[in-house]
Every structure is written in structure tokens, then in C-alpha cells.
Amino acid sequence: MTDHNDVSGDSPVTTRRGVRSFVLRQGRMTEGQKKAYERSWPKYGLTREQGMIDPRQVFGRDNMLNLEIGFGMGQSLADMAEAAPEQDFIGVEVHLPGVGALLKEIEDRGLENVRIYAIDANDVIDLCLPDAALDRVMVFFPDPWPKKRHHKRRLIQHEFVQRLRHKLRVGGILHLATDWENYAEYMMEIMTESEGFANTQERGQYSPRPDDRPITKFEKRGETLGHGVWDLVFYRTN
């Protein structure tokens, strides 16, 4: 593994100061995750040090490009990539066990249409992705930070949404999902007020779960307990 592609080196997880939307709880990779990481990070990993990428060079083609922010253990991202081999996917996750788990899924399924950043999504947006490069951005089940005093830590904020907007092509989709009703209401308020976005549903209405968003084990468990899930699907208008 080269130093250039080694996320465990001196390169910080984020270059941004101030309030963060995540708490770095790395934990330990399993032996399988660690081996997959060692084998496959040089091929599938992307770094801040590479600077602004050209997705056509990264994937060797010019196809629909998706970005998932906070892919967790990577199961749903791997499911989407396997179901749509004609599309390309970039995943962002700061927790290395999740990175290792997705790399193992990539190996096991023989996926060639996935690349990974293991840094703060803010740095990916600001330093790594060209404007109008994305067809879809997905943020599924982000940390809800339920206490009111912690709402400033929530990832979905006006400023963040506007930075995402510039990375989407006109007509591109921003798809959010949460199982916290208060966060769903909060995100709906943010998105409804956001310049340059329009709801794919009637104003203030949530979307049915799109067929291409996999149902996670976590989500299934929540449904069994009677928890709701809210999808918000907006598109860039200008």
C-alpha cells in the first residue's frame, strides 16, 4: 500500500474547524475487514491529497454518478452498486470498520463501480468533487442528534445543502432518509426553504421509498418496533 493511498497515515479525517456532524468512533476492524482494506484500498480508495477528481478518469467511463454520504457498514451501497452496474458510486465514511466492510463486499461481489473516501464529507465536497459532477446525492439515516442543543451538529443544514447543490447537475437528485420524525420535519423545513431545490412530491410531502433504496437490517428492525421511516427526494432546479 502506498503512502498516497493510506488513510491511516498523517492525513487528518477533516480539515474543517468547529462543530462536526460526526464523532469519530473508530473501533477495531475485524480480521476480514482489515485484510480487505489492505488488499483493496489502493484500487478503490480515493484521498483528499488527489485533489479535484475527474470521475470519467476514476471510473474509465461517463455514466450516472451517485454519492452516498455516511454509508455505515456499506451493505446498502454495495446492494445499489450491484443492482445498477451501469451506474457509478462514490461512498464517504469516516469509520474505518465500515470502510473495511464495504471493501470486503466489493471483493465478494466483484464490483467495479464503487470508489471510497474515508474523510469528512465536507472535504470531499469542497476539495475533491467538481461542480455539476453528480447525478444523485444520498444521505440515509444520518445521526439525528436528537437533543435540541445538539441540532447544530446535524449534517443537513442550509449551508451544507447549498454546497451539495453546486455539486449536482441541474435536475440532479438529493435523497434524504431518516427514521427520526423530528429530524424528518427539520430536514423538510430546510429543503423546502433551500434555494435551487424543488420537492419531487407536493410541497411539504414526503416521498414513498424509491425502489432503488435498499431496506437495511437496521430499518427492518425499526419497522418491527413500529418506527416510521421518512424519505425526502428533491431535485436541483437551477
DSSP states of the chain as a string? --GGG-TTSS--S----S--S---------HHHHHHHHHHHHHHEE-GGG-S--HHHHHSS---EEEEE--TTSHHHHHHHHH-TTSEEEEE-S-HHHHHHHHHHHHHHT--SEEEE-S-HHHIIIII--TT-EEEEEEES-----SGGGGGG-S--HHHHHHHHHHEEEEEEEEEEES-HHHHHHHHHHHHH-TTEEESSSTTPPBPPPTTSPPPHHHHHHHHTT---EEEEEEE--
d(CA 29, CA 36): 10
CA distances from 121 to 31, 173, 203 (A): 27, 17, 28
> What count of other Cβ atoms lies within 10 Å of the Cβ of residue 115?
18
C-alpha span between 55 and 66 (Å, rounded): 11
Is 108 designated active site? no
- Choosing from 6, 126, 135, 143, the catalytic residue is 143
Catalytic residues: 143
